[in-house]
Structure 1
């Protein structure tokens, strides 16, 4: 089956050769079948992410800064869980979607704790430019237990409410209650990545 994209040329140019950091192209009236076709079309394009919420599809071109930040966050978390012998399973940016709730997205990083599951226990989102689709509303439909947002050198944490009706802000991770995310954020300096990784490892050993 041949699939065509009905995206205006100016919007396509924003995605292919963005003049601004992480351009966001919203498309409206997109059916679930069309969303799945978009996933197929963009499969393999690691610098593009899709977010779908009840008929609205957002396509984002990821910036180099975004990719450096999310990779370093993952490296630091790997070191932490390895030091504490926590069983961490990487899910990366694999698409999480639910037809029954009409939602789907690709986390920047995601992980299962203890064992692999259908959906990750933790999703991490790096925000370089604000705005766009409400990702917490998407995560609610996927029932991801915990979501971290990293923006402007700090983390904001959310945990799914007990009744699953939405998220509530939390001061510290319920998955990693002993993890000092403010301290971890101090080590998220991509230009000094090797130095920061070594310093983080030494700090955890000392503790």
Structure 2
């Protein structure tokens, strides 16, 4: 068994390290070793990304966006199941990822229909490659106050201006409220607007 190779040590500008030549068994050992540290592991084709604990900005953005999306789906009576950051991927796929937030629409399924990713630090493993292999229908990225939506069409993700899963959702309006400084006010005002439109 080869030893993992450290490629990108953490610096002041990054909050992750990449290890190459990591077997699935080594990944599982590291998972046990790092339990309780809040480190997040992402794995693709023997490359392991270890992300340091998430920042307050990351968590605030994730929660605000998730709450807004859930208000929309509840108001529109769209049945959904929040999966949070439940780990997806397995040895046979050579992938593993804990999404920031994820949902099934309509019914519970092994793979999420919709994943939210909050990007504070860029670089590392391309998360879309993992989700493409797992056939996740839709992935949303929130970065610097902008929302980018990718829909799986055939075998590739296409960046779109309208969600395929939620075609009536105004993404610009959602993003506007996700950028608001006060989470409570953002969700309250967005809920009022969505309710009036129903």
Which residue of 192, 200, 205 maps to 2:190?
200
How many residues end up aligned between the 2 structures? 193
The residue correspondences of 1:1-207 to structure 2 (distance < 5 A) are: 20=13, 23-46=15-38, 48-61=39-52, 62-162=54-154, 165-189=155-179, 191-207=181-197
Deviations 1:110-151 (A, max 9, x none): 000011101100111011122221111111111111111111
Relative distance call for 1:141 and 1:36 in structure 2 (3 A) is farther
Counterpart contact for 2:5–2:20, Cα < 8 Å? no
Counterpart contact for 2:120–2:143, Cα < 8 Å? yes
Q: For residues 179 and 135 of structure 1, what CA distance do their matches in structure 2 show?
A: 24
Structure-2 residue corresponding to 1:3:
none
Q: For residues 37 and 171 of structure 1, what CA distance do their matches in structure 2 show?
A: 41
SS of 1:67's equivalent in the other structure is helix
Deviations 1:43-85 (A, max 9, x none): 4544x22111101000112111001100111111110010011
When normalised by structure 1's length, the TM-score is 0.85
Q: For residues 81 and 181 of structure 1, what CA distance do their matches in structure 2 show?
A: 13
When normalised by structure 2's length, the TM-score is 0.89
Deviations 1:15-54 (A, max 9, x none): xxx855x6011111101122223333344544x2211110
Please, what is the CA RMSD of the aligned residues? 2.2
Gaps of 5+ in 2: none
Q: For residues 36 and 63 of structure 2, what CA distance do their matches in structure 1 show?
A: 18
Gaps of 5+ in 1: 1-5
Counterpart contact for 1:66–1:128, Cα < 8 Å? yes
